[in-house]
Amino acid sequence: MGSGSFPQTLKGYAARIKNVRIMDTTLKLKYPEWVDIGSDEQDCYSALNDVPGNNVEPVFYFGGPGQGPQCN
């Protein structure tokens, strides 16, 4: 997925998701109030929640090489 590199090194080329929305209990779409990132295999994949500036919604980048002896 993406370029095969970690998003921290090639932010413009990694796989990305933008305009993320969740539906609340009133059925309205909104940006999540709390966002966390993580990876079970940090040597293989990672994620980055980038906030480019004020009044600009974050872009969620993810990816990595995903192959190698350290990856399950």
Residues of the chain falling short of pLDDT 50: none
pLDDT value at residue 25: 93
Q: How many domains would you assign to the chain?
A: 1
Structural domain including 56 reads 1-72
The tokens describing 19, both together, are 């305009």
Q: What share of the chain is helix, strand, coil (3-state, %, to 5)?
A: 0, 25, 75
Q: Report d(CA 1, CA 62) in Å as an integer.
A: 9
pLDDT value at residue 28: 94
pLDDT value at residue 2: 61
pLDDT value at residue 11: 67
Share of the chain above pLDDT 70, in %: 90
Q: Report d(CA 65, CA 72) in Å as an integer.
A: 12
